[in-house]
Structures are given as structure tokens and as C-alpha cells.
Amino acid sequence: MEGMTAIEVRGLRKAYRGREVVSGIDLDVARGEVFALLGPNGAGKTTTTEILEGHRRRDGGEVRVLGADPGTAGSDWRARIGIVLQDADDAADLTVGEMVKHVAGFYAGPRAPAEVLALVGLTDRKDSRIRTLSGGQRRRLDVALGIVGRPELLFLDEPTTGFDPEARRNFWDLIRALAGEGTTILLTTHYLEEAEALADRLAVLAGGEIVAQGTPAALGGRASAGAKVSWRVDGVLRTEQVPDPTPLIRELVEAKTDLSTLTVTRPTLEDTYLALIGAHR
């Protein structure tokens, strides 16, 4: 199983003060896969991720991460994972280069610090104090610290918070490059565009339960939801919901209908996501 699966979860449960926040979820993440966890605040994403990282004890269920139980795994196992936390603020008086070199020293076969800084676009800030970095630059440093040990599995918690659009897309290129090297990535994000751009598969958590999982294109029946076709005839809007818009468009062409106002829309990932969490509520 370890050769095929990076993460296997069965019946995972966790409660705080009698209130269950993770309610028996099942989850599989294949090696080399980019997997996204989506859900509103309080859905159980952070708790689930912390259990997988070995930072929080579970109340029930079976969990295997890289073939080991993260609740009892030792330092050798920890050296095989990388973690980029949502908020990190430490060693502010060290330089960027000093911090990366320091963390690299904890691993047997790390990436060269200069290579890591180039990957995250911080080469020109190597000698800058961490406290002088912008929010986006600090997130890049967090990623550098997460990948310097060449992790087999990388946890990314809201990695592009605070990024401008250009920086976010540059970061996506980095994630794609890591995935191309075979790194398994578990991503939590509130940006649905980010999940759609990066994830091979994703799961939606709501109220501590997985309400849907699959590829971005097929999530929640999205692939079979059909399309809405709209056009105007003599100024009057016409709209039809159809499984496949091609036959209808062909009919309109044969009828010599003016198609300058024609639009074809399908449910977006955001539409599907909001419907899923709305139905759960």
C-alpha cells in the first residue's frame, strides 16, 4: 500500500469539549497527486491536516501517512514530510539565507539553499532580515523552508494568502514543478480558482464531513450538469437548460437565428462548491 498511497484515512474522528469537528471521514491521496481540501471556516480542514501531520491526536479512526501512523511516527518519518503553515512568524532577525541554511541542516540530503531561494524567487532577498519581508515574500520563505528537505509529501495551508495575482500564478508554477518531480501535495485553500488550477482531485468538507470528492471537472456531478444556453430573439431573452448544447445550436443555425447574443454557460467550481456546502447546511 505504501508504494501506491501517500495518505489513507478511514473513519477519522475528532471532538473538542464534546463537540465533534471531524465526523468519521474517509480519504485517500495517491503518491504524486496534488489533492486539495476545500471547505468553509470551521469545516474541519485544519484539524484534519494537523492530525495527518502528526501535530494533533485523533479520537478515532485509522490514519496512515507515508506508510506510518502520524500519531506515533518518529523523526525519520518527519524528515520525509514538509509543512507550510498558514501563519509563521519566527527568527525575524535572521536573514533569509541564514534561515534556509539553518533549516537545511536538519536534513540528511537537503536541497542547496541557493537552489531553494531561486525556486521561490527570493535570491535577491538572501541577505535581507526576515522582519523586513513583505507578506508575500514571507510566504515564499515559508515554502522554501517546507521544501528544503526534499519532502515526499508537502502540506500547504493557505499558501498564497496575501499574494498579488502575479505572485500567486508564479507560485502555482512552483507547485506544478514540485508535483512534476513526484512530490505529493496536500493543499488547503479558500481560492477555488487555485484548487481548479492545481489539484488532480479535491474534497469538500462541511460540518466535519466530506460532502463530495473527485476531480475539479466532475465534482458534485459538475461534468453531467449540462449547460445553459441563452440568446435573444427580437429583443426577448430565451434560455434553455440542456445536457449538450450542440444540437440546440445546430437548430438555431439552421433556423438562421442571429447568434451574436448567444452564450453557453456551465456550472463553475464555485457554483458547485456553494451548492454543496449550502445543501449540507
Of the pLDDT bands very low, low, confident and very high (cuts 50, 70, 90), residue 84 is: confident
Task: Inform me whether the pLDDT recorded for 237 exceeds 90.
Answer: yes
Interacting residues of 146 by C-beta distance below 8 A, sequence separation 6+: 82, 83, 84, 154, 155, 156
Check residue 112 and report its DSSP letter.
P
What's the angle, vertex CA 216, arms to CA 163 and CA 222, rounded to 5? 130
User: What are the respective helix, strand and coil percentages of the chain, to the nearest 5?
Assistant: 35, 30, 35
CA–CA dist 212, 52 (Å, integer): 20
Which residue has better confidence, 155 or 87?
A: 155
Q: Is a pLDDT exceeding 70 seen at residue 156?
A: yes
**Which pTM does this prediction carry?**
0.83
5, containing H or E segment: strand 5-16
Q: Does 128 score more than 80 pLDDT?
A: yes
For 281, the enclosing helix (H) or strand (E) is none
Cell of 56: 494533533
pLDDT confidence band for 281 (50 / 70 / 90) = low
Q: Which is more confident, 95 or 223?
A: 95
**Cell numbers linked to 67:** 506508510
Residue 87: per-residue pLDDT: 59
Q: What is the pLDDT of residue 1?
A: 40
Predicted pLDDT at 277: 84
Q: Which helix (DSSP H) or strand (DSSP E) does residue 241 occupy?
A: strand 236-242
Amino acid at site 201: R
Residue 165: is it exposed, middle or buried by C-beta count within 10 angstroms (0-12/13-18/19+)? exposed
Residue located via cell numbers 450538469 = 225
Q: What is the DSSP letter of 111?
A: P
Residue 76 grid cell: 525519520
DSSP symbol at 104 = H
Interval 182-213: pLDDT, tens = 999 999 988 899 999 999 999 999 999 999 99
Q: 14-34: per-residue pLDDT in tens?
A: 999 989 999 999 999 999 999
Distance CA 95, CA 22 (A): 39
